[in-house]
């Protein structure tokens, strides 16, 4: 890699590390930066040529034109800086995503100024610097706010600090780039990517309990321990979730938990028994199984090296399991 | 869903995609810039630019792809070739203007990336400057301002990336920027040091402007007579002299080759050359003269100025023929002060060999005039003592011989004097003067042609005396023994109205003046006077703002002997002052915020720094709760909580014992724990 580029990246990282993390950032004189763009330098050269032309041909109107353009550019510089200064950026903590999926960062821009703010771009600062950054654009109305969504894909599962973001404007003439660097405090939880076509759920395991090990083995496919409702089944064994789905599709069928199997069989998603060896592949499969089991409305437990989540169901349980998978 | 706005404004422009609309607007602006150059570029250049812009418009409207590079290269080569054919060069001012107009149009065929758009903008700015090569009038300035605002609008519009902002919004922003930039422009214009050209001007910098010429062929001044352009403006210190004495002297032509009059190139060595030998009587007339640039070295003065015209940086010398000549050509509007004596005498009083130059006639021309001379001398007697009688005889002949003043005398052949005296008997000043001088020389009376301006008119609005190109005139000087050179204006003998009266033969004006003039001649004259007064102000204040005026300004500011360094000091001083004012304003603006809110914000910031999550809109009470939670039940947290409750009470309780000042003081005196728990 180009050593200069590496050096610049390192400098940028060092600079970013120094910034305090915060989910709300109000832009002031101190954290808004401004530098001429390439177009700005082009304008400077144009102004110089105009000036030399005016001097050489002794054109007083040429002077007027040159100085009016220069004055407008100077005013444009101030307008551009004021366009960003005083803006407040607020990040809503992002929802967890699976590895490989882009996380959407919702950023609210609010302004107390009595004039509109135009053309403010937000984005995650790319490795190549601001020039490579992909930006989402927004106008902020006077004394109002608007929202920009910035997508960011985390490199792998785990808890990630959000990358440095930038708010940038080229308004009004494109001759000055006014920008800020913002390190949000929020973190992003990234679950392992769910395997695309996972194998069926593993067979249930006999429940260790007073009844002792059961001799009944279930054929694959009946692992879930549900069967059609039979008259006399106690109400609490009815799988209401399934019932609701069935009613919704127009069938009047009830499904009961097979008391026997529900008591005797427990679904354990075990890190050691995924059928693959590679750690990430195992986690990926487990994540897929968690999602599958949750969709089927089963009780399931998760066994990871050093962690064990007892069988349960529901959203909170699913989240707990995925979190465990993300952070193990 | 269609919004009502879309339904309401369902014209074709609002149905265009935004990109297309923006491109069309830019094309209109570029079209305007190119259109202003039409009078100054070859016809093919205008056609080519119009064609390319039209093509680009069609591409935009139909959403077609841009032409491939061979097209652009081909057009570029065509342009280069045509420019070479038109100008015989690719460099220099005129060829450069032609090229830049076409390049600007061609570049629109290449609007792909952001960079291309910027190239168009900056090329556009540069093209604006080229307009000033040809005209710096008020109208040009207005046109350029419009174009500049158009370019700025397009530039602003390009930096409003969201949605489809109306062009009016961009225009408002651009106009605001220009309005705020105007004071900067003014300061720089007044104080930026005016320097001499950084390097030699190309030769063609000075062509293409009309004015008097130092050669005279029959028919040449006829063009000037028809030209309503302004040659010079005069403001007299006192009442102006009678119009019959308003002769502004230009080149004196003594060398005649039968066809063309030229200035004398004396055949005598310098020490024998005649001197001006000027003697004046009476009181001088002081005046300030503003000379339009004519690219020559002549400084026109009222006959006769004894002292050199005064202007900063102007050095002038007088020729033996009383003409004042500057050291360098007058390339920009020049304002100078001068004093003239209308009662004067010049030239040698006794006959001298040097006068031989003013007696020479080319052999073989105007035989009938020579015969007339012999006849007249036989009638009135020869010799210097009879010269006045001969002059009067010829003037009588002009008055009574059926000679007519006309602007359209028709074509003259080789023997112009013969044709004038005997055949046509009609002509304007240069025919009359030329024939008069030839006849005088034929009678052995030294005579020469003087060109310049005669007359002028008073602008009632601003009191300036305006002399136009159509006031260009040719008169004569004859040498009489004991009197020296005496002005004789033979034209006045033919058409007394031409000299000394206000009535004149004026060329038909444009459509506008024509229409108004027919309806109401007085109104037309008044409108014209106002317009010219405005133009004159423009010339005096803007175009004539030179180094001299700049240093005068510094003098008025109190510098005793201003220099460039002082200009720099004033500029720097202004920058410093403006910066200080800006900082002061910011401070003042901060004061304008509610002081209670400011104190709360200070507290919030301090607590945030200590690790509290206190967003901007937290109330004091909520802050207090957070402080309790964060710091626990310590002495410090109790004091902060109490302080916050009092802050709240100050704002909302009906009666509060505290004042803002005490609370602020207490806040400052608060002892923060050394290691705030994180």
| A284 DSSP assignment | H
Q: Which three-class secondary structure string do you get for B460-484?
A: CCCCCEEEEHHHEEEEEEEEECCCE
Q: Is B94 a catalytic residue?
A: no
Please give the model's pTM, rounded to 2 decimal places. 0.66
Structural domain range at position B538: 511-542
| B183 contacts A49? CB cut-off 8 A | no
Q: Tell me what pLDDT residue B44 has.
A: 92
Residue B678 lies in a domain: no
Q: Is B237 a catalytic residue?
A: no
- HSE value, Cβ hemisphere, 13 Å, CA-based, for B154: 25
Residue B201 lies in a domain: no
Q: What is d(CA B227, CA B639) in angstroms, rounded to the nearest whole number? A: 91
Q: Is B489 a catalytic residue?
A: yes
Catalytic one of B22, B227, B462, B489: B489
Q: What is d(CA A266, CA A271) in angstroms, rounded to the nearest whole number? A: 16
| A71 contacts B173? CB cut-off 8 A | no
Give the number of beta-carbon pairs within 8 Å between A and B.
Answer: 150
Q: Are residues B243 and B365 in the same domain?
A: yes
Q: What is d(CA A88, CA A51) in angstroms, rounded to the nearest whole number? A: 40
Contact in structure between A159 and A191 (CB atoms under 8 Å): no
Q: Tell me what pLDDT residue A177 has.
A: 93
What are the φ/ψ torsions at residue B432 (nearest 5 degrees)?
-65, -50
Q: Are residues B242 and B133 in the same domain?
A: no
Q: What is d(CA B459, CA B527) in angstroms, rounded to the nearest whole number? A: 11
| A79 contacts B177? CB cut-off 8 A | yes
Q: Are residues B460 and B599 in the same domain?
A: no
Nearest partner of B265 among B217, B273, B435, B445, judged by Cα: B273
Most B CBs within 10 Å: which of A112, A147, A173, as the mutation test of the B interface? A173
Q: Which range (A225-234, A291-300, B107-116, B475-484) has the least confidence?
A: A225-234
Which residues of chain B make contact with A167, given a CB cutoff of 8 A? none
Which residues of chain B make contact with A76, given a CB cutoff of 8 A? 177
Cβ-proximal residues to B587 (8 Å cutoff; 6+ apart), any chain:
none
Nearest residue of A to residue B121 by CA position?
Answer: A43
Which residues of chain A make contact with B541, given a CB cutoff of 8 A? none
Nearest partner of B298 among B325, B318, B336, judged by Cα: B325
Nearest partner of A167 among A120, A109, A108, judged by Cα: A120
CA distance to partner chain B, nearest, from residue A103 (Å):
23
Q: Tell me what pLDDT residue B447 has.
A: 92
The residue assigned the tokens 């230009």 is: B250
Which residues of chain A make contact with B114, given a CB cutoff of 8 A? 39, 174
DSSP secondary structure, B60-119, as one string: HHHTPPPPPHHHHHHHHHHHHHHHHHHHS-SSSHHHHHHHHHHHHHHHGGG--SHHHHHH
Which residues of chain B make contact with A46, given a CB cutoff of 8 A? 122, 125-126
| B247 DSSP assignment | E
Structure confidence at residue B518 as a pLDDT band (50, 70, 90): low
Q: Tell me what pLDDT residue B206 has.
A: 42
| A65 contacts B129? CB cut-off 8 A | yes
Q: What is d(CA A17, CA A21) in angstroms, rounded to the nearest whole number? A: 9
The residue assigned the tokens 């169901």 is: A313
Q: Are strands A24-26 and A88-92 parallel, antiparallel or unpaired?
A: antiparallel
- Work out the average pLDDT over B327-339: 84
Most B CBs within 10 Å: which of A37, A49, A76, as the mutation test of the B interface? A76
Q: Are residues B560 and B419 in the same domain?
A: no
Cβ-proximal residues to A59 (8 Å cutoff; 6+ apart), any chain:
A53, B129, B132, B133, B136
- Work out the average pLDDT over B122-126: 92
> What SS3 class is residue A84?
helix
Structure confidence at residue B34 as a pLDDT band (50, 70, 90): very high
Q: Are residues B577 and B651 in the same domain?
A: no
**Sheet strand arrangement including B334-340:** B334-340, B285-291, B230-236, B465-468, B457-458
| A160 DSSP assignment | E
pLDDT tens-digit series, residues B339-383: 998 888 888 888 887 788 888 888 888 899 999 999 888 888 877
Residue B208 lies in a domain: no
Nearest residue of B to residue A172 by CA position?
Answer: B156
Residue B344 lies in a domain: yes
Which residues of chain B make contact with A62, given a CB cutoff of 8 A? 129, 132
* Residue among B178, B192, B615 whose CB faces A72 most closely: B178
Residue B1 lies in a domain: no
Q: Tell me what pLDDT residue B538 has.
A: 84
pLDDT tens-digit series, residues B44-84: 999 999 999 999 999 989 888 888 889 989 999 999 999 99
pLDDT tens-digit series, residues A210-256: 444 444 444 443 445 676 776 777 777 777 777 787 777 777 777 77
Residue B63 lies in a domain: yes
| B198 contacts A58? CB cut-off 8 A | no
- Ordered by where they begin, the domains of chain A are 3-189 (2.60.40.10), 192-207+239-249+257-328 (no CATH)
Q: Are residues B441 and B296 in the same domain?
A: yes
Q: At what angle do helices B167-191 and B564-592 cross, to 10 degrees?
A: 140
- Work out the average pLDDT over A74-99: 92
- Work out the average pLDDT over B622-635: 84
Tokens linked to A182: 């913002």
Q: Are residues B176 and B234 in the same domain?
A: no
Contact in structure between A168 and A177 (CB atoms under 8 Å): yes
Q: What is d(CA B20, CA B18) in angstroms, rounded to the nearest whole number? A: 5
Most B CBs within 10 Å: which of A25, A69, A70, as the mutation test of the B interface? A69
pLDDT tens-digit series, residues B178-202: 999 999 999 999 988 887 777 655 4
Q: What is d(CA A230, CA A232) in angstroms, rounded to the nearest whole number? A: 6
Residue B203 lies in a domain: no
Kindly indicate whether the ipTM for this predicted assembly is greater than 0.85, answering yes or no: no
Nearest partner of B490 among B406, B446, B428, B411, judged by Cα: B428
Q: Are residues B485 and B517 in the same domain?
A: no
The residues pairing with A136 across neighbouring beta strands, listed in sequence order, are A122
Final residue before a domain boundary, out of B191, B226, B249: B191
Q: Are residues B416 and B288 in the same domain?
A: yes
Final residue before a domain boundary, out of B191, B224, B240: B191
Q: Are residues B346 and B477 in the same domain?
A: yes
Question: Does the structure show a pLDDT above 50 at A321?
Answer: yes
Q: What is d(CA B443, CA B362) in angstroms, rounded to the nearest whole number? A: 14
Residue B254 lies in a domain: yes
Q: Are residues B487 and B632 in the same domain?
A: no
Q: Tell me what pLDDT residue B593 has.
A: 66
Q: How long is chain A?
A: 328
The residue assigned the tokens 């694959």 is: A220
**Structurally, how many domains does chain B consist of?**
5
Q: Are residues B587 and B602 in the same domain?
A: no
Tokens linked to B574: 């202004």
């Amino acid at each position: 890699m180009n050593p200069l580029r590496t050096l610049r990246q390192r400098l940028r990282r060092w600079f970013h590390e120094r910034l305090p993390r915060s989910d709300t950032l109000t832009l002031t004189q101190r954290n808004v930066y401004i530098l001429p763009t390439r177009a700005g330098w082009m304008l400077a050269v144009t102004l110089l040529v105009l000036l030399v032309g005016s001097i050489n041909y002794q054109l007083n109107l040429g002077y007027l034109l040159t100085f009016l353009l220069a004055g407008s550019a100077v005013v444009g510089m101030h307008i551009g800086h004021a366009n960003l200064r005083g803006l407040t950026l607020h990040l809503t903590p992002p929802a967890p995503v699976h590895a490989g999926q882009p996380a959407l960062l919702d950023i609210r821009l609010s302004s107390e100024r009595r004039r509109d703010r135009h053309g403010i771009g937000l984005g995650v600062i790319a490795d190549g610097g601001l020039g490579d950054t992909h930006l989402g654009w927004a106008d902020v109305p006077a004394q109002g706010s608007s929202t920009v969504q910035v997508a960011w894909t985390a490199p792998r599962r785990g808890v990630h600090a959000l990358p440095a973001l930038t708010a940038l404007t080229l308004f009004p003439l494109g001759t000055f780039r006014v920008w800020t660097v913002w390190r949000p405090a929020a973190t992003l939880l990234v679950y392992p990517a769910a395997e695309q076509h996972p194998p069926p759920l593993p067979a249930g395991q006999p429940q260790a309990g007073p009844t002792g090990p059961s001799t009944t083995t279930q054929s694959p496919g009946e692992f879930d321990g549900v069967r059609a409702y039979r008259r006399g089944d106690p109400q609490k064994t009815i799988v209401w979730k399934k019932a609701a789905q069935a009613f919704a599709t127009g069938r009047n069928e009830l499904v009961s938990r097979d008391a026997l199997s529900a008591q005797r069989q427990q679904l354990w998603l075990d890190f050691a028994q995924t059928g693959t060896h590679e750690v990430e592949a195992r986690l990926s499969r487990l994540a897929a199984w968690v999602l599958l089991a949750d969709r089927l409305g089963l009780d399931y437990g998760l066994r990871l090296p050093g962690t064990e989540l007892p069988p349960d169901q529901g959203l909170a349980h699913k989240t707990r399991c995925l979190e465990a998978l993300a952070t193990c | 869903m269609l919004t009502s706005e879309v339904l309401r404004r369902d014209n074709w422009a609002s149905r265009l995609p935004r990109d297309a609309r923006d491109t069309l607007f830019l094309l209109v602006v570029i079209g305007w810039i190119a259109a202003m150059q039409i009078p100054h570029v070859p016809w093919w250049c205008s056609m080519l630019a119009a064609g390319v812009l039209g093509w680009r418009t069609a591409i935009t409207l139909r959403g077609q792809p841009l032409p491939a590079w061979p097209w652009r290269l081909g057009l570029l080569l065509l342009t280069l070739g045509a420019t070479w054919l038109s100008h015989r060069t690719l460099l220099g001012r005129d060829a450069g203007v032609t090229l830049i107009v076409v390049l600007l149009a061609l570049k629109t065929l290449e609007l792909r990336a952001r960079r291309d758009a910027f190239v168009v903008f900056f090329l556009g700015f540069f093209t604006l400057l080229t307009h000033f090569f040809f005209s710096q009038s008020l109208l040009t300035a207005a046109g350029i301002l419009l174009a500049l605002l158009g370019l700025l609008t397009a530039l602003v519009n390009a930096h409003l990336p969201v949605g489809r902002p109306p062009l009016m919004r961009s225009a408002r922003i651009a106009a605001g920027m220009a309005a705020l930039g105007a004071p900067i422009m003014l300061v720089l214009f007044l104080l930026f040091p005016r320097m001499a050209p950084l390097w030699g001007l190309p030769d063609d910098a000075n062509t293409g402007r009309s004015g008097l010429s130092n050669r005279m062929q029959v028919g040449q001044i006829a063009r000037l007579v028809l030209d309503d352009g302004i040659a010079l403006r005069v403001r007299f210190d006192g009442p102006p002299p009678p119009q019959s004495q308003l002769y502004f002297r230009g080149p004196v032509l003594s060398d005649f080759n039968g066809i063309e009059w030229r200035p004398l190139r004396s055949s005598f060595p310098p020490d024998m050359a005649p001197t001006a030998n000027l003697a004046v009587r009476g009181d001088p007339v002081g005046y300030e003269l503003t000379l339009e640039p004519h690219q020559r070295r002549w400084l026109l003065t009222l006959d006769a100025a004894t002292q050199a015209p005064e202007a900063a940086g102007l050095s002038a010398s007088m020729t033996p023929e009383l003409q004042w000549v500057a050291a360098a050509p007058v390339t920009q509007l020049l304002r100078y002060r001068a004093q003239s004596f209308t009662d004067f005498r010049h030239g040698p009083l006794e006959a001298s060999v040097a006068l031989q130059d003013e007696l020479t006639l080319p052999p073989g021309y105007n035989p009938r005039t020579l015969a007339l001379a012999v006849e007249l001398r036989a009638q009135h007697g020869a010799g210097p003592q009879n010269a006045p009688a001969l002059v009067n005889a010829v003037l009588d002949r002009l008055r009574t011989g059926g000679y007519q003043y006309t602007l359209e005398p028709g074509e003259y052949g080789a023997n112009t004097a013969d044709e004038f005296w005997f055949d046509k008997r009609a002509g304007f000043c240069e025919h009359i003067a030329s024939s008069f001088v030839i006849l005088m020389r034929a009678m052995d009376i030294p005579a020469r042609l003087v060109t310049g301006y005669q007359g002028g008119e008073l602008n009632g609005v601003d009191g300036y005396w305006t002399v136009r190109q159509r006031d260009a005139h040719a008169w004569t000087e004859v040498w009489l023994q004991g009197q020296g050179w005496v002005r004789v204006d033979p034209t006045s003998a033919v058409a007394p109205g031409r000299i000394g009266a206000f009535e004149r033969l004026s060329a038909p004006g444009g459509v506008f003046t024509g229409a108004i003039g027919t309806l109401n001649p007085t109104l037309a004259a008044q409108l014209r006077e106002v317009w010219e007064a405005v133009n004159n102000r423009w010339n005096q204040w803007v175009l004539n703002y030179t180094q001299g005026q700049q240093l005068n300004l510094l003098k008025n500011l109190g510098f005793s002997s201003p220099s460039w360094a002082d200009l720099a000091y004033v500029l720097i001083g202004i920058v410093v002052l403006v910066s200080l004012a800006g900082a002061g304003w910011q401070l003042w603006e901060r004061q304008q915020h509610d002081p209670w809110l400011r104190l709360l914000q200070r507290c919030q910031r301090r607590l945030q720094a200590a690790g509290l999550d206190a967003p901007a809109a937290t109330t004091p009470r909520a802050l207090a709760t957070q402080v309790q939670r964060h710091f626990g039940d310590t002495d410090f947290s109790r004091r902060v909580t109490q302080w916050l409750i009092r802050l709240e009470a100050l704002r909302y309780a009906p009666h509060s014992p505290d004042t803002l000042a005490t609370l602020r003081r207490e806040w400052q005196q608060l002892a923060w724990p050394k290691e705030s728990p994180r």
